[in-house]
């Protein structure tokens, strides 16, 4: 068996279908946002995706994604009739307002001469011909899978069928879920420079999925507002300007297991000056955030060549000014208690003062604070006046017991 073949019981097609409708909702939302429209979008309510604007009837979208090449949409296609069943039952239940627009968005192709072909936008559109073909299929087909849909369709009065099909549109040949990348880039052009579009979209989609999850799990039953998307794109746009860099919420909010950091040199530096465990945890979390965020910037080529080295050199220089002041204030005969007290004061500066960002627009405090922990771990900075000697002794002891 080919290892790439999926089991007949695989949930992958269904999972991709759900992801597709969420992703399509983002694509459609961005297109509307660029046109300056105010709207709200809901997922899995009246239909897969529903758009509403003030004072206008809603627009219902059924999305059909096929992993492999799918057969054309014919008069008996299950995709077509499943969609019609949802729309017909909504009309019968009175849950769909008069004037609603209906869209079937599918990666399949509408077969020439069949009903779906006549429901496509364009010069060949002919809803009356489509209704004739659908009427014939609903009255003569013996397809048991489609039987409930045929019944729902026949349950509509002729006037209702005519109004439904006048307002129904088949959008065929839609991009597959992977191919949607290029369309999302195209509609996002202008939100960020071309070289940053991939990184911009990764973050925008991450936010969109989190927002959709809240909507779908009823943590936030309200639909997604265009104002929310507009605010997020504006925020990201600012972060991708030359004087800024994006800060990723999933990194800032991540849980950190402190147990794996206890033998690191930056933690030993803090123990030397008797920093409490809670403050040590804050140091560990800041180091994690700074390390992960910096790593992501580097992976995505968002930093200039040598920019990170120059930033660290600036932080070391700022630290060294205060460190040398501490050295002068302590003098040659300072007691250990005086050295620890001075080191505590120096370290409080790292914890509480505002520090230079890697760029003017990067104001997240955990980045410089965590970078200082990374520099401490590399022994480029320290807090105790004798930190170099103390760490050398610690390392020698570790080698001796190894």
Note whether residue 249 is domain-resident.
no
Distance CA(92)–CA(292), nearest Å, equals 54
93 in Cβ contact with 85 (< 8 Å): no
Same domain, 208 and 124: yes
Note whether residue 156 is domain-resident.
yes
Same domain, 269 and 224: no
Helix (H, G, I), strand (E, B) or coil at 191: coil
pLDDT of residue 7: 52
Domain boundary among 204, 238, 272: 238
First to last CA, the chain: 50
Distance CA(118)–CA(125), nearest Å, equals 5
Note whether residue 6 is domain-resident.
no
Same domain, 223 and 265: no
Same domain, 37 and 172: yes
pLDDT of residue 192: 87
Note whether residue 52 is domain-resident.
yes
Same domain, 340 and 281: yes
Note whether residue 174 is domain-resident.
yes
149 in Cβ contact with 79 (< 8 Å): no
Distance CA(394)–CA(339), nearest Å, equals 18
Same domain, 301 and 223: no
Would you place residue 399 in the very low, low, confident or very high pLDDT band (cuts 50, 70, 90)? confident
Q: Please count the structural domains in the chain.
A: 2
Note whether residue 114 is domain-resident.
yes
Note whether residue 386 is domain-resident.
yes
Same domain, 198 and 292: no
Q: Say if residue 120's pLDDT is above 90.
A: yes
Same domain, 38 and 141: yes
Q: Are strands 101-106 and 59-64 parallel, antiparallel or unpaired?
A: parallel
Structure tokens at 90: 């909504």
Note whether residue 4 is domain-resident.
no
Same domain, 175 and 267: no
Would you place residue 105 in the very low, low, confident or very high pLDDT band (cuts 50, 70, 90)? very high
Q: Say if residue 3's pLDDT is above 50.
A: no
Domain boundary among 238, 269, 288: 238
| Nearest partner of 99 among 130, 156, 56, 42, judged by Cα | 56
Q: What DSSP letter does each residue of 48-95 carry, written as one string?
A: SEEEE-TTS--EEEEEE--SSPPPPB-TT-HHHHHHHHHHHHHHHHT-
Domain boundary among 207, 238, 269: 238
Lowest-confidence region among 7-21, 45-59, 164-178, 255-269: 7-21
Same domain, 57 and 204: yes
Structure tokens at 215: 């909507």
Same domain, 286 and 323: yes
Q: State the average pLDDT over residues 74-79.
A: 94
Same domain, 31 and 172: yes
Distance CA(315)–CA(385), nearest Å, equals 18
Question: Which burial class, exposed, middle or buried, applies to 402 when counting CB atoms under 10 A from its CB (0-12, 13-18, 19+)?
Answer: exposed
- DSSP H helical segments within 94-196, as ranges? 115-118, 127-140, 147-154, 158-166, 180-188
105 in Cβ contact with 64 (< 8 Å): yes
The domain of 371 spans 258-401
Structure tokens at 59: 């627009």
Structure tokens at 80: 């077509």
pLDDT tens figures, 301-325: 999 999 999 999 999 999 999 999 9
């Amino acid at each position: 068996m080919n290892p790439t073949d999926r089991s007949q019981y695989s949930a992958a097609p269904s999972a991709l279908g759900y992801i597709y409708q969420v992703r399509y909702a983002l694509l459609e939302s961005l297109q509307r946002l660029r046109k300056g429209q105010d709207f709200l979008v809901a997922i899995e309510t009246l239909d897969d995706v529903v758009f509403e604007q003030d004072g206008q009837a809603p627009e219902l979208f059924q999305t059909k994604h096929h992993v492999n090449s799918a057969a054309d949409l014919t008069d008996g296609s299950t995709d077509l009739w499943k969609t019609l069943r949802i729309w017909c039952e909504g009309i019968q239940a009175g849950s769909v307002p008069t004037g609603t627009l209906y869209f079937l968005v599918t990666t399949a192709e509408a077969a020439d001469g069949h009903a779906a072909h006549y429901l496509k936008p364009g010069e060949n559109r002919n809803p009356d011909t489509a209704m004739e073909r659908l009427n014939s299929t609903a009255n003569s087909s013996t397809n048991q899978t489609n039987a409930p849909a045929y019944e729902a369709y026949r349950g509509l009065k002729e006037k209702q069928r005519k109004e439904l099909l006048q307002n129904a549109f088949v959008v065929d040949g839609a991009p597959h879920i992977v191919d949607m990348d290029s369309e999302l880039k195209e509609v996002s052009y202008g939100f960020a420079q071309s070289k940053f579009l991939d990184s911009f979209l990764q973050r925008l989609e991450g936010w969109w999925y989190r927002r959709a999850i809240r909507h779908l799990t009823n943590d936030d039953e309200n639909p997604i507002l265009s104002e929310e998307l507009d605010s997020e794109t504006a925020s990201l746009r600012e972060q991708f300007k030359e004087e800024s860099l994006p800060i990723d919420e999933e990194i800032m909010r991540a849980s950190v297991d402190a147990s794996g950091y206890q033998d690191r040199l930056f933690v030993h530096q803090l123990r030397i000056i008797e920093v409490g465990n809670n403050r040590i945890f804050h140091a560990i979390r800041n180091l994690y955030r700074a390390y992960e965020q910096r790593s992501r910037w580097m992976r995505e080529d968002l930093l200039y060549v040598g920019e990170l080295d120059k930033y660290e050199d600036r932080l070391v220089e700022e630290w060294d000014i205060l460190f040398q002041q501490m050295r002068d204030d302590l003098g040659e005969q300072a007691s250990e208690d005086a050295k620890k007290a001075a080191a505590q004061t120096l370290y409080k500066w790292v914890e509480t003062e505002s520090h230079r960002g890697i760029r003017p627009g990067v104001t997240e405090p955990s980045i410089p604070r965590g970078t200082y922990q990374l520099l401490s771990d590399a022994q480029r900075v320290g807090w105790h006046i004798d930190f170099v000697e103390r760490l050398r002794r610690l390392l020698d002891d570790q080698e001796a017991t190894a």
